[in-house]
Amino acid sequence: MTRIKILPHDLTLKIAAGEVIEKPASIVKELLENSLDAGATNISITLENGGLESISVIDNGEGMTRQEAILAFERFATSKISRVDDLFNINTYGFRGEALPSIAAIARVEMTTRPRNMPLGVRVMVENGKIIDVWDVDAPFGTRISVDKIFENVPARRKFQKSAATEQSYCLDRITKIALAVPNVRIEVKGKGKTILTIPTAYNLADRVFFVLGPEISKKLLEIQGEKKGIHLKGFIGHPSLSRNSTRFIHFFVNRRPVRDNILLQALMNSYRGYLTTGRYPVAILHVNISPQEVDVNVHPAKAEVRFRDPSTVYSLILELVSQALSSSTFSLKGNVYPLQKEKYTTHSKIDVDSVCEPKTSYLNTENFLSFQSLELLPNPDTPTDMDVFTLFSSDVQYLGSLQNTYLVFTTHRGIILVDQHAAHERIIFDKLNKKLTSSPGMVQHLLIPETITLPPHCMEKITRILPTFEKIGLSVEIFGENTLIVRSVPSETPNLNIEHAIFDILAECENGLETENRLEKIKLDITRILACRGAIKAGEPMSPEEACNLWEELSHARTPLTCPHGRPTLIHLSLRNIEASFLRR
Ligand code: ADP
Ligand code: MG
């Protein structure tokens, strides 16, 4: 009695068939999926000449009887479904009975297989799609399928194959992707008598991800897990600084099947909105587990796409879990800042070169060089938090010194950063003062000798209106007599503030009146901006290395660290890549 049957005609009409074996990787994918469907836990793949010459897959799965082995090469012969209803309850990778006949049509196939309970195995030779020989053999249990003479009878397709190295990399991509779907399966890949890749059995997804993606990526992944209306999401998402320039590092699985899916991608990308610049994509390995009745896998010839019955729940589940993870405190990764004088000045960064946001075109025009770079780092007003910020501030930096007592020079392993000390300090103070406006009053710096300021009489009324704002940010001002102010304390952020200049600047901003609530709100921001500008270290003032490093550290905490409150850049970044390009090394 065989479990493999040829599907009835009415059922074959309902199948989105038509998968084309277009390259060695397609063969690897199909054979690997068959082995997994057969319950294999140990799979060995051999690729000769990148899979262009021959491919073999050996598994320890359930094997096939003689009758099954013969039937398996018939079109629409499958053991996985038998009725139309089964199409809505698919738990296997395959279900169309297409793969083996399609492979046999373009190559020579030899299959040796033995179920565990049979004393002997069987070998089937198939050429040009036809079984040419079947005989009994001694064989270990499981199945071995060897494919050679690939595309020999389809020269047009053979011509389209790329180099062995490229085809092999496609195969390995497929294999590692499937490996992320099934952690508890050992997969080994060989070629030219050597082992190319061994993926050991993992006991959970985390171990598998660690193995497949490596430690550098893995240590910047955060696990997420959750459920909504019976739909389960589990997996790992990458810190924004891991971002890539393509979706290649986004792996979605629906019931262990690798899929491309717009709903899933949209949900993921929307969760990263504000963390990544346009054109950058996160690293993510996300498994959606859902009742097979809730998802249609029969919509795409290569089964690479699926259709959810309730896409909005899937969407919101991802959005919620990923957004939550991204904003969680466990996810803030910060690099260390080392002043050059200190002993610890070997810098090692946590970010690999790939992840750096590089300009898309190579830039050799030195005139535009700086401005181009700074533009790269300037946040778009619509996206105040920017992927570059993460990359930048999570790197280890080393302070080299200062240029003109104005520009602080830092190096990272991927470039040079120049910080405008005044603009950066302004940004830091501005953010801190604004925070004080919305929270309880912070530290103040009491003046040893209170300062008195004499104002034109008509200004006194305006000052009275803004006294509460002054108080909130730690600027304690009393009115003394008709035209005099006594300043008793300044905000701790601006110990060296020239308060008289600041007050006159603020009064100038008040020229247009303070009558409406709107104007009062606006003047609060003007006040913090003016105090930040007047209180910040000036260009040309020397800073110690410790102060410079502190400034960098504090800048990394600012909400929009790349611009000062007036919108000027606080820093520019010269990437190693562009430095190399300028020296014509690239
Ligand atoms: P499908 O996977 O869609 O059923 P295939 O053409 O890939 O179609 O395979 C046909 C049938 O051959 C499968 O349904 C399965 O019963 C059997 N088969 C294929 N490969 C293996 C294997 N490695 N181990 C056991 N059975 C297999
Ligand atoms: Mg199959």
Shortest-distance ligand to the CA of residue 73? 1
Shortest-distance ligand to the CA of residue 102? 1
Q: What is the per-residue pLDDT for 413?
A: 83
Q: What is the per-residue pLDDT for 341?
A: 32
Pocket test for ligand 1, best of 34, 58, 145 (most atoms within 8 A of CB): 34
Q: What is the per-residue pLDDT for 580?
A: 86
More confident residue, 388 or 342: 388
Residue 350 has pLDDT above 70, yes or no: no
- Which of 259-273, 350-364, 563-577 is most confident? 259-273
Q: Do residues 342 and 288 touch, judged by C-beta distance below 8 A?
A: no
Kindly calculate the radius of gyration of the chain based on its CA atoms and give it in whole angstroms.
33
Strand-pairing partners, residue 140, are none
Q: Do residues 485 and 438 touch, judged by C-beta distance below 8 A?
A: no
Strand-pairing partners, residue 233, are 226, 288
Q: What is the per-residue pLDDT for 558?
A: 82
Question: d(Cα 45, Cα 58) in Å, to the nearest integer?
Answer: 6
CB 495: neighbour CB atoms within 10 A?
Answer: 10
Phi-psi region of 149 (alpha: psi -120 to 50; beta: other; left: phi over 0): left
Q: How confident is the model over 78-104, as a mean pLDDT?
A: 93
Q: What is the per-residue pLDDT for 28?
A: 98
- The string of pLDDT tens digits covering residues 488-542 is 988 888 888 888 889 888 888 887 676 677 777 778 888 998 999 999 999 999 9
Q: Do residues 71 and 276 touch, judged by C-beta distance below 8 A?
A: no
Q: How confident is the model over 124-139, as a mean pLDDT?
A: 96
Q: What is the per-residue pLDDT for 434?
A: 85
Question: d(Cα 101, Cα 454) in Å, to the nearest integer?
Answer: 95
Residue 378 has pLDDT above 50, yes or no: no
Strand-pairing partners, residue 137, are 121
- Ligand 1, atom nearest to 101 Cα: 6
- The string of pLDDT tens digits covering residues 419-435 is 999 999 999 999 888 88
- Lowest mean pLDDT of 283-287, 372-376, 478-482, 578-582, name the range: 372-376
Q: Do residues 338 and 54 touch, judged by C-beta distance below 8 A?
A: no
Is residue 441 very low, low, confident or very high in pLDDT (cuts 50, 70, 90)?
A: low
Using a pLDDT cut of 70, give the percent of the chain over it. Answer: 88
- Ligand 1, atom nearest to 33 Cα: 2
Residue 175 has pLDDT above 60, yes or no: yes
Pocket test for ligand 1, best of 3, 44, 45, 78 (most atoms within 8 A of CB): 78
What's phi and psi for 17, nearest 5 deg? Answer: -85, -175
CA distances from 579 to 361, 362, 365, 586 (A): 14, 10, 11, 9
Residue 240 has pLDDT above 70, yes or no: yes
Is residue 455 very low, low, confident or very high in pLDDT (cuts 50, 70, 90)?
A: confident
Residue 193 has pLDDT above 60, yes or no: yes
What's phi and psi for 414, nearest 5 deg? Answer: -125, 20
CA of 307 to the centre of ligand 2 (A): 20
Cα atoms in the Cβ-side hemisphere of radius 13 Å centred on 60: 8
Question: d(Cα 94, Cα 362) in Å, to the nearest integer?
Answer: 45
Would you say the pTM of this structure is higher than 0.95?
no
Smallest CA separation from ligand 1 atom 16, residue: 79
- The string of pLDDT tens digits covering residues 3-38 is 999 999 888 888 887 777 999 999 999 999 999 999
Shortest-distance ligand to the CA of residue 29? 2
Q: How confident is the model over 233-240, as a mean pLDDT?
A: 92
Nearest to 521 by CA among 482, 584, 466: 466
Q: How far is CA 259 from the centre of its chain?
A: 17
Mean of pLDDT over the chain = 84
Smallest CA separation from ligand 1 atom 14, residue: 78
Kindly give, in sequence order, each residue whose CB lies less than 8 Å from that of residue 346, ignoring residues fewer than 6 positions away: none
Pocket test for ligand 1, best of 4, 37, 93, 257 (most atoms within 8 A of CB): 37
CA distances from 547 to 408, 453, 554 (A): 10, 31, 10
Shortest-distance ligand to the CA of residue 104? 1
Question: d(Cα 267, Cα 309) in Å, to the nearest integer?
Answer: 16
Shortest-distance ligand to the CA of residue 141? 1
Nearest to 29 by CA among 170, 174, 181: 174
Smallest CA separation from ligand 1 atom 18, residue: 34
Q: What is the per-residue pLDDT for 465?
A: 85
Nearest to 224 by CA among 324, 307, 300, 138: 324
Alpha helices in 132-233 (DSSP H): 155-159, 164-181, 205-218
CA of 474 to the centre of ligand 1 (A): 75
Question: d(Cα 76, Cα 9) in Å, to the nearest integer?
Answer: 9
Residue 1 has pLDDT above 70, yes or no: no
Q: What is the per-residue pLDDT for 388?
A: 61
Residue 578 has pLDDT above 90, yes or no: no
- The string of pLDDT tens digits covering residues 289-339 is 999 999 999 988 888 899 999 999 999 999 999 988 887 755 554 444 444
Pocket test for ligand 1, best of 1, 100, 112 (most atoms within 8 A of CB): 100
Which residues have C-beta atoms less than 6 Å from ligand 1? Answer: 4, 30, 34-35, 37-38, 59, 61-64, 72, 77-80, 94-100, 143
Question: d(Cα 128, Cα 126) in Å, to the nearest integer?
Answer: 7
SS3 258: strand
- Ligand 1, atom nearest to 142 Cα: 24
SS3 86: helix
